[in-house]
Structure 1
């Protein structure tokens, strides 16, 4: 005999939260997840943490998204969808300044979740990655058109991407600044980048940057670190196994523990190496520099040279730092703050009208320019690439090009 049908559910015994469930709950989930993914990284983020941010249970969250990857993929798409939507709101023939200002407003408003696209999109799979790329290409194309219309200089696509990098930099840091002030600062910076002639930084404009020599592995510990960095850069820290690292240096996985307590300690060593090499480069670049304008140019050239010379190491340090536990992360964070402090001091001497927060925001805008311009150039270290990107960074900071 068939089992009896369950009694009809009474409206008086229904889920008491059903009547008050917001209609935009899915959007609230995506917003909360974007913040968690950006702050903690994809692998450390948990569905429970996202659910708590919305004020629901993990079980309720799974009714909207079957797993963490599905939620992450949605966050990545939404991040770019917001920017693409601006393209429909701004008239096609609108001034470049209007378009950049609109993109900046959206980016600043959602800065807490912007890291999903900037650093975590590498975890997207096949079709999701392709869809994201198509959307971003449309965004770049629209900015490219406006740049070409108003700023018909060489390398317009490079300038368009660099301008977007200046805007997107707000997602790379936690500097407290009023939303309107950030919008004005970044949209003006992006507009300057779009109008900068990359040829202003061609070879001969300034002395070549002298970076510290690439470290030569002379111990087994150093060999392990050197082997792990390209693996972390290619596959992401969480996807690399001790076995892969061990095989790269001809060891058994258990032998790694004689040199590093764990894989996380190898990552910490990589981040510290990156900070140390950059600090050495800055020390050399500022040696015997007499005035702040020259100092800022030297800082820009050094950071660009470092980014091209140590691309894998820099990408690991930038993308994976969030995964370090506090005790291992603190020395790296202190080194980064010291580096920013040097930039801030010199930039404020060169531009006294800036306050400390404005200066730091602009410094990060310069870093964002390097990220997107470097991607555009595929980090190919060809003649003129470093100098062109340096000119764009200087433009982002609001300084004139250095021609002697």
Structure 2
């Protein structure tokens, strides 16, 4: 009598395969929308078999978060103490690019970790940042070492947030160069040609529908879309939950409206920022300053749009993805005029690196909206583009 084929062919690294499949699912679909059944199918096992390795989805999610940061820490531990900055950043880029499909867990989904797990993860990231900080400090005697280190990591980590295809080695080299550009940037020196950005004025909500949207955005930003209830949104505007349906068919439609509002405000800001700018280099500076100003001015709205876009149904997501592509295309065109050696994919990767710098540097200064903070982050974004 022969053994069952499944028992004979069961891979020894099944737990690792599960974690990798889960990381991809959580990054692509978000913690709440990814299911254990979907993850199990990605590994070619049943959900029952999956539960033999992990008691619940949260336990699997927490391990996914730990595995990626552990890989980064281990990679840097293998780099000799006092190694030059390019060697340190290359080690980070190599791991990040190799596991880019699972890396998106950190930027937004880590908020769903319990406090204890979040603190443990934060301690590991702190160790990573300190190592990069030391290398940055050793390479360039410039102000704000920690800000430049965090921003450089943001440039590299940006590859986990998009799908632009690039050969692994080319991606590693491009992201390392971008991060080096960030590290070499003095954030206290204004970018030549940068000018103040006049964003569209905030409009006070004048309809019940607008009031609902304005109340929902900070709730989504703080707790995540899936964790917010219709009751919480209704309470914030003094309505009953059933009354919300007179204005929005469902909660997901409120989210879609928030994402559309974000796209519209950014598009308006870009039009104003580029008005009268003909030189491609100055256009990129204007785009960077505009994006940074928008990120500081509409921090909650921006975080909701970026974190929750993947969770929208396809029919609601499609126009937002098109708007996002159009915005990136503006950057890409100007960047290739300034740096003609870049092909379209390379330019796109660098544009996303600039976005990653804006997010991580903005977080580092806790989104405290001052002229100096906007100017510093703008300079770092420009550095990420290799200008």
Q: TM-score, with normalisation over the residues of structure 2?
A: 0.98
**1:312 maps to which residue?**
300
**1:136 maps to which residue?**
125
**1:5 maps to which residue?**
none
**2:198 maps to which residue?**
210
Count of matched residue positions in the alignment of Structure 1 and Structure 2: 387
Q: How far, CA to CA, are the matches of 2:115 and 2:2 in structure 1?
A: 45
Q: How far, CA to CA, are the matches of 2:341 and 2:139 in structure 1?
A: 28
Tell me the alpha carbon deviations over residues 336-372 of structure 1, each in whole angstroms, 9 at most, x when there is no partner.
0110011101111111111111110000000000111
Q: In the alignment, is residue 126 of structure 1 matched against residue 108 of structure 2? A: no
8 A Cα contact 1:79 1:116, kept in partner? no
Secondary structure of the residue aligned to 1:85 is helix
C-alpha displacement at 1:143, in angstroms? 0.3
**1:154 maps to which residue?**
143
**2:342 maps to which residue?**
354
Secondary structure of the residue aligned to 1:176 is coil
**2:72 maps to which residue?**
83
Secondary structure of the residue aligned to 1:290 is coil
Secondary structure of the residue aligned to 1:384 is helix
**2:37 maps to which residue?**
48
Q: 2:288 aligns with which of 297, 300, 313?
A: 300
Secondary structure of the residue aligned to 1:164 is helix
Q: 2:14 aligns with which of 25, 45, 54?
A: 25
Q: How far, CA to CA, are the matches of 1:206 and 1:293 in structure 2?
A: 11
Q: How far, CA to CA, are the matches of 1:68 and 1:60 in structure 2?
A: 13
Q: In the alignment, is residue 99 of structure 1 matched against residue 55 of structure 2? A: no
Runs of 4+ deviating beyond 4 Å: 12-15
Q: How far, CA to CA, are the matches of 1:299 and 1:78 in structure 2?
A: 36
8 A Cα contact 2:194 2:289, kept in partner? no
Q: How far, CA to CA, are the matches of 1:81 and 1:61 in structure 2?
A: 23
8 A Cα contact 1:80 1:117, kept in partner? no
Q: How far, CA to CA, are the matches of 1:83 and 1:63 in structure 2?
A: 28
Map 1:187-226 onto structure 2 (within 5 A). Answer: 187-201=176-190, 206-226=194-214
Tell me the alpha carbon deviations over residues 153-180 of structure 1, each in whole angstroms, 9 at most, x when there is no partner.
0000000000000000000100011111
8 A Cα contact 1:268 1:324, kept in partner? yes
8 A Cα contact 2:193 2:282, kept in partner? no
For structure 2, the 5+ residue unaligned runs are none
Bigger CA drift: 145-154 or 159-168? Answer: 145-154
C-alpha displacement at 1:18, in angstroms? 2.1
For structure 1, the 5+ residue unaligned runs are 1-11, 400-404
C-alpha displacement at 1:205, in angstroms? 5.8
Map 1:4-403 onto structure 2 (within 5 A). Answer: 12=1, 15-201=4-190, 206-399=194-387
Q: How far, CA to CA, are the matches of 1:231 and 1:120 in structure 2?
A: 15
Secondary structure of the residue aligned to 2:316 is helix
8 A Cα contact 2:143 2:186, kept in partner? yes
8 A Cα contact 2:22 2:64, kept in partner? yes
Task: Give the alignment's Cα RMSD to 1 decimal.
Answer: 1.1
Secondary structure of the residue aligned to 1:265 is helix
8 A Cα contact 1:237 1:320, kept in partner? yes
Secondary structure of the residue aligned to 2:292 is helix
8 A Cα contact 1:167 1:187, kept in partner? yes
C-alpha displacement at 1:14, in angstroms? 5.8
Q: How far, CA to CA, are the matches of 1:247 and 1:15 in structure 2?
A: 57
Task: Sort the Cα spacing of 1:157 and 1:397 in 2 relative to 1 into closer, same or farther, 3 A.
Answer: same
Larger gyration radius, structure 1 or structure 2: 1
Q: TM-score, with normalisation over the residues of structure 1?
A: 0.94
C-alpha displacement at 1:20, in angstroms? 2.1
